[in-house]
């Protein structure tokens, strides 16, 4: 039995081990609903925006682009095995903003993402990407916890 609730699902991925569980959830929902899965990786250009644009910056940008392609290709491989329609999406900018904006502009029905659950001062000052998306997205967000040290 297929559901029409979700036709376009966006999985925000960073290639981490913790994110694999979120990918599994997104794939399962996509299979149940007959939805297309969009795997997105955000090249966080804000993280190195203060670095002068020189050969080092360009090399870093190239490495991040390569990582983005590898991460989305890994999700595509799993999606193909499961028979789920797939499209890779590589975005640039601040991850939380880019994920929420892309999902809204492209008419996504659901955003799926994992979280590490930052702690301490970094969390207080920066917040997590998942929290940023939850606060700013007009599209429903499913946050899947990865394994913690307690599991």
E strand or H helix at 71, and its extent?
A: helix 55-82
CATH assignment of 8-136, among 3.40.1010.10, 3.40.50.10880, 3.40.50.12370, 3.30.200.20: 3.40.50.12370
98 Cα distance to chain centroid: 10
Q: What 3-state class would DSSP assign to 117?
A: coil
Alpha-carbon gap, residue 127 to 92, rounded angstroms = 19
Instruction: Give strand pairing partners of 91.
Output: 42
Whole-prediction pTM: 0.86
CB atoms within 10 A of CB 20: 18
Cα 45 to Cα 137: distance, rounded to the nearest angstrom: 21
Per-residue pLDDT of the chain (151 residues; tens, 9 = 90+): 677 889 999 999 988 887 899 999 999 999 999 999 999 999 887 766 666 666 666 777 788 889 999 999 999 999 999 999 999 999 999 999 999 999 999 999 999 998 754 444 444 444 588 889 999 999 999 999 866 544 4
DSSP letter for each residue of 133-147: HHHH-SS-EEEEE--
């Amino acid at each position: 039995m297929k559901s029409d609730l979700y036709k376009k699902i966006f999985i925000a991925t960073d290639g981490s081990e913790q994110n694999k569980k979120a990918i599994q959830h997104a794939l399962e929902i996509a299979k149940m609903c007959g939805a297309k899965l969009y795997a997105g990786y955000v090249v966080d250009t804000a993280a190195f925006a203060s670095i002068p644009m020189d050969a080092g910056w360009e090399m870093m940008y190239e490495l991040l682009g390569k990582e983005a392609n590898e991460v989305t290709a890994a999700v595509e491989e799993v999606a193909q095995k499961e028979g789920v329609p797939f499209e890779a999406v590589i975005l640039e900018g601040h991850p939380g903003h880019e994920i929420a904006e892309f999902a809204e502009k492209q008419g996504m029905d659901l955003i799926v993402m994992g979280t590490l659950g930052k702690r301490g001062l970094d969390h207080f000052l920066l917040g997590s990407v998942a929290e940023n998306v939850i606060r700013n997205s007009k599209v429903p967000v499913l946050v899947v916890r990865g394994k913690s040290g307690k599991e």
